[in-house]
Amino acid sequence: MSDITTNELLRVETIVENLRAIDATETGQEALAMTQAMSSAGEHGELG
């Protein structure tokens, strides 16, 4: 297996850990379950 594939497999595990951390936050599950909204209506949640 190439080094870059190994690195990307490690990165996948980091992504999994990050998703778990988001899920554990107060509104994380709701955010992850939302459909892919391109922008929210709220001023403070507005996408860049």
Partner 1 sequence: MGLTDMDHPLLARYAEIRAEAAEQYGPDSQAVVFLLYEELLSVRAVLVQDRSANTLGRRVRELATGIQQRYETSGMVDSGRDHWLLSQNPVLIEYDREVFERRYRAALDACGVSALHLTTATDAFTHLRPGCTHIYVVDDESRLLVWPEPFSLAEMVFGRAPDQRLQGTRVVHPMLVPDRLRVRAAGELVVLGGPADCMVVANMKSGHFRPPPACADVLREVLREVFAVSDEDIDIFTVPQPQL
Residues 2-21: x/- map of binding to partner 1 (CB under 8 A)?
x-xx-xxx-xx--xx-xx-x
Place of tokens 């507005």: 46
**CA separation for the pair 9, 2 (Å, rounded):** 11
**CA separation for the pair 3, 37 (Å, rounded):** 35
Shortest spacing between CB 13 and partner 1, in angstroms: 8
Shortest spacing between CB 20 and partner 1, in angstroms: 11
**CA separation for the pair 18, 32 (Å, rounded):** 12
User: Which residues of the shown chain bind partner 1 in the complex (CB under 8 A)?
Assistant: 1-2, 4-5, 7-9, 11-12, 15-16, 18-19, 21-22, 27-48
